[in-house]
Structure 1
């Protein structure tokens, strides 16, 4: 586990929506620290508040109670230092691939030569430099998600937030994208928080894995893992699925299923 000073701190964060009878508690008393260069994966059942957690860190929402801190300062709103990759690539259809990647640096006022250099660099990292002049509608789903990732990286954010970015991809493309994300994390030294429903994906990418309960979302357990580091050392960049891996995976699945079927959890979610 990374021992540097926290990049992100959530202190007793809760989030509710609505009021009166329609009030719904999405997150309850979340305490979380994320250190620089951590890769944190968040797992939990649908509706447990994973996306709400990400939106609070991104600055899209303010918690009802508690504090969300980035680099020692309260998070007041969205910031290019925290880039977001969504499940559906949010590319600009009127711009070609290269101009999509360079959009952030261009808006920030960098000169054209620097924007071109940055765009070409990250397109080369994702293996799409040869496609830089293509329109985004010409790209496959996996290629569009690569471009969306490169566009976030081009801003050189301190942190990348991913909300199930691979959920809509086919199995083979998803595996290839997992390898790409891991390699980019190692090369660019970003801090990553990734939401996923896939236990294997979380275990193979994250050096930390957080399991959340059914609504209202709480952190049930945190795991420190080294499978992503193991994969980086192999020629094929694959995780070695050994008996320990399977034991951890089954424990995580049992945690989630037990919580889902717990009468106490069901009653709490109705409050």
Structure 2
């Protein structure tokens, strides 16, 4: 991949479900590039195609028209270089915490000693090294989501795709997870694309936020941000809410609400 080649490129991507009178256009003519080490957050109303967009980039679905590329090559199938974290932790209940985290490297044929090293490294990063021998059903919801994140990180992917990973968590756990995700992104130099319905979450984490329209989903506007870098420099890891922050937040809400109210 050259400096001029983005990590992800979507060129005139559209996605149509069904046939004939039963067809529904989920995405319409999406052009999007994602650069290495970006933290991209995607906002938009329910049903606007956010998850469809993620599935196309992950390789779970092929677009009806257009092309999606990863490092300049057409995405044709899922790949461990693009890890996915879902809203509900998709852990294997018959495996321990450490075996869940080490599952990907083991499938890829990594040697046991290296797997143990990788597993301990990422469990330490998420603060669950002492719990590595526990069964996952003995963990809280927030702890299980941390394990799900560590399992993706253990494959050392180029990109992490997150589909509302914090939506089911209580407010305090969600804030703590936001801090953890920001710190892991910064430390491990991954590229992240995160779908969320929470505007403040997007502003506090994203280096860029894009707003999508109602179905069929298109990109209405993109915002370049630096609040996540500000949070990294503070002791409490919180974003300073200033006048510009409030203006951007209101702009995003106005864009979404205006689009929903269009006849």
Check whether TM > 0.5.
yes
* 3-state SS in 2 of match to 1:236: coil
The aligned counterpart of 1:168 is 168
- Kindly indicate whether residue 191 of structure 2 is the aligned counterpart of residue 191 of structure 1: yes
Equivalent position of 1:114 in the other structure = 114
TM-score scaled by length of structure 2? 0.98
Which residue pairs with 1:145 in the alignment?
Answer: 145
Give the structure 1 partner of residue 210 of structure 2. Answer: 210
Aligned to 1:127: 127
3-state DSSP of counterpart to 1:197: coil
Provide, for residues 148-191 of structure 1, a one-character-per-residue CA deviation record: whole Å limited to 9, x for no partner.
00000000000000000000000000000000000000000000
Instruction: Let me know the Cα RMSD of the aligned residues.
Output: 0.7
Check conservation: 2:56, 2:68, Cα contact below 8 A. yes
Task: Return the alpha-carbon distance in structure 1 between the equivalents of residues 111 and 5 of structure 2.
Answer: 34
Q: In 2, Cα distance between the equivalents of 1:252 and 1:161?
A: 22
SS in 1 for 2:93: coil
Structure 2 distance, partners of 1:30, 1:150, is: 31
- Deviations for 1:73-105, whole angstroms, at most 9, x for unmatched residues? 000100000000000000000000000000000
Structure-1 separation of matches of 2:4 and 2:85: 25
Q: How many residues align?
A: 261
- How far apart are residue 4 of structure 1 and its match? 6.1
Is 2:10 the counterpart of 1:19? no
2:247 counterpart of 1:247: yes
Deviating runs (4+, > 2 A) in structure 1?
none
Contact 1:81 1:157 in 2 (8 A): yes
Post-superposition shift, 1:257? Answer: 0.1
* Kept after mapping to 2: 8 A contact 1:40/1:192: yes
The match for 1:269 is none
| SS of aligned partner of 1:100 | helix
Equivalent positions of 1:49-64 (< 5 A) are 49-64=49-64
Tell me how far apart the structure 2 counterparts of residues 99 and 132 of structure 1 sit (CA, whole Å).
8
Secondary structure of the equivalent of 1:157? coil
The 5 A counterparts of 1:46-85 are: 46-85=46-85
SS of corresponding position for 1:16 = strand
Answer yes or no: is the 8 Å Cα contact 1:4–1:35 preserved in 2: no
TM-score scaled to structure 1, two decimals?
A: 0.96
Decide whether aligned partners of structure 1 residues 4 and 233 sit closer, same or farther in structure 2, where only a CA change above 3 A counts.
farther
Q: CA deviation at 1:5?
A: 3.4
Aligned counterparts of 2:92 and 2:4: Cα–Cα separation in 1: 37
- How far does the alpha carbon of each residue in 1:46-91 deviate from its partner, in whole angstroms, 9 at most, with x for none? 0000000000000000000000000000001000000000000000
Other structure's SS at 2:54 match = helix
Q: Does 1:96 align with 2:91?
A: no
Q: Kindly indicate whether the alpha-carbon contact (under 8 Å) linking 2:5 and 2:72 is maintained by their aligned counterparts in 1.
A: no
Once residues 149 and 256 of structure 1 are traced to their aligned partners in structure 2, the CA distance between those partners, rounded to angstroms, is 29
1:254-265 matches, cutoff 5 A? 254-263=254-263
